[in-house]
Amino acid sequence: MTGFETVFLQKAGATFLAADVAFANRAAFFGDGIFETMVFAQKRIRFADAHQKRAKEGMDVLKLRQNSVSSVQQIEEYVRKNFPADVPLRIRWNIYREGIGKYTPTTSSPQETLFVQPFSPAPAIKNKAYVSESVHVCPSPWSHCKTLNGLTYVMANMERQEKGMDEVILTDDKGFISEAGSANIFWVKNGKYYTPSLKHNAIAGVSRAMICEILQKKGKLIQEGSYTFDDLLGAEQVFTSNVSGLSYIQRIDEKMLSTDPIPFLEALFTW
């Protein structure tokens, strides 16, 4: 169609109106990118080095160029200068491939956006949890990355809401425990800590890495492996973690669990 220029339209009422073409991007069209959710408080980004490391790994896996991407330190400095220093913030840093194209990209250059909002800590206790039988975390070379394609977790949490539950626990395609609806999962039995291996397709959480590190420093036994629902039901305590903090699960099916705080882990998320 000679002379025709690409336009981007958005539904407004009963018709479509021209919209900012910047919203027509590979993040929206294909989920072609990664993101980091970070907490800013006391003038710094919590776990900054770990976020930088994970972002780099995600870009490597998705074959995104990194030479022009912001560093976590640069984002920290920008937020420090442009937002109130005394208000804890939640920062979502999206990094996605530039251009539109179709499935085949036209470039490996990145674009970035920041979404900044007030920070809300994770709930201390999640009363009821269950294991989903319909939503599973499937394997891929990027399953451990925090990609922009979050449909698995969207559907899992919709199901959780429909069931009136506070947490959903997900398994992989073979039935092994993987992670929770928006967090990694740990449990304690006889003083030993357990968490699923990343080979069961869980996202490599920043807080997960920090927890494993502090457990080792404290001389606690931590085992990563392949576990079933029965292993989980044998636990004395189960908790989930993401950058917002820890949440202790009070009940899985009919199994009641301890919700006593673990002070040295809580300290990771205390400023």
Q: pLDDT class for 76, splitting at 50, 70, 90?
A: very high
Q: pLDDT class for 22, splitting at 50, 70, 90?
A: confident
Q: Any alpha helices (H) in the chain, and if so which ranges?
A: 26-30, 48-62, 72-82, 151-162, 206-217, 229-233, 263-266
Identify whether residues 255 and 165 lie together within a single domain: yes
Compute the average pLDDT of residues 234-239: 98
Phi and psi for 87 in degrees, rounded to 5? -115, 115
Q: Is 270 exposed, middle or buried (0-12, 13-18, 19+ CB in 10 A)?
A: exposed
78-to-45, 47, 64, 72, 204 alpha-carbon distances in Å? 11, 17, 23, 10, 26
Last residue of a domain, one of 118, 144, 174: 118
Residue 4 lies in a domain: no
Compute the average pLDDT of residues 197-217: 98
Compute the average pLDDT of residues 31-59: 97
d(CA 220, CA 257): 20
Query: Is pLDDT above 70 for 254?
Result: yes
Name the domain count of the chain. Answer: 2
Residue 16 lies in a domain: no
Identify whether residues 28 and 99 lie together within a single domain: yes
Compute the average pLDDT of residues 199-205: 98
Instruction: Give me the percent of the chain exceeding a pLDDT of 70.
Output: 99
Domain that residue 89 falls in? 24-118
**DSSP letter, residue 71:** P
pTM of the model: 0.94
Q: Per residue in 30-42, pLDDT tens?
A: 999 999 999 999 9
Last residue of a domain, one of 86, 118, 150: 118
Identify whether residues 71 and 135 lie together within a single domain: no
- Model pLDDT, residue 228: 97
Residue 94 lies in a domain: yes
Q: Which amino acid appears at position 116 of this protein?
A: V
Identify whether residues 134 and 249 lie together within a single domain: yes
CATH number where 46 lies:
3.30.470.10
For 105-135, the DSSP string reads: -S---EEEEEEEEE--PPPSEEEEEEEEEEE
d(CA 133, CA 155): 12
Least confident residue range of 12-21, 130-139, 192-201, 245-254: 12-21
Q: Of 154, 197, 157, give the one whose Cα is nearest residue 177.
A: 197
CATH number where 227 lies:
3.20.10.10
Q: Per residue in 169-189, pLDDT tens?
A: 999 999 999 999 999 999 999
Identify whether residues 84 and 154 lie together within a single domain: no
* Token code pair at residue 245: 């903090």
Answer for the pair 152, 179: CB distance below 8 angstroms, yes or no: no
Residue 9 lies in a domain: no
Identify whether residues 92 and 156 lie together within a single domain: no
Query: Is pLDDT above 60 for 1?
Result: no
* Token code pair at residue 247: 């949440």
Instruction: Give me the percent of the chain exceeding a pLDDT of 90.
Output: 90
Residue 39 lies in a domain: yes
For residue 61, the Cα-to-chain-centroid distance in whole angstroms is 17
Mean pLDDT score across all residues of the chain: 95
d(CA 184, CA 204): 8
Residue 257 lies in a domain: yes
Residue 200 lies in a domain: yes
Residue 79 lies in a domain: yes
d(CA 84, CA 254): 45
Count CB-CB contacts under 10 A for residue 59. 20
Identify whether residues 142 and 249 lie together within a single domain: yes
Q: pLDDT class for 236, splitting at 50, 70, 90?
A: very high
Query: Is pLDDT above 60 for 217?
Result: yes
- Model pLDDT, residue 2: 57
Identify whether residues 107 and 144 lie together within a single domain: no
Last residue of a domain, one of 84, 99, 118: 118
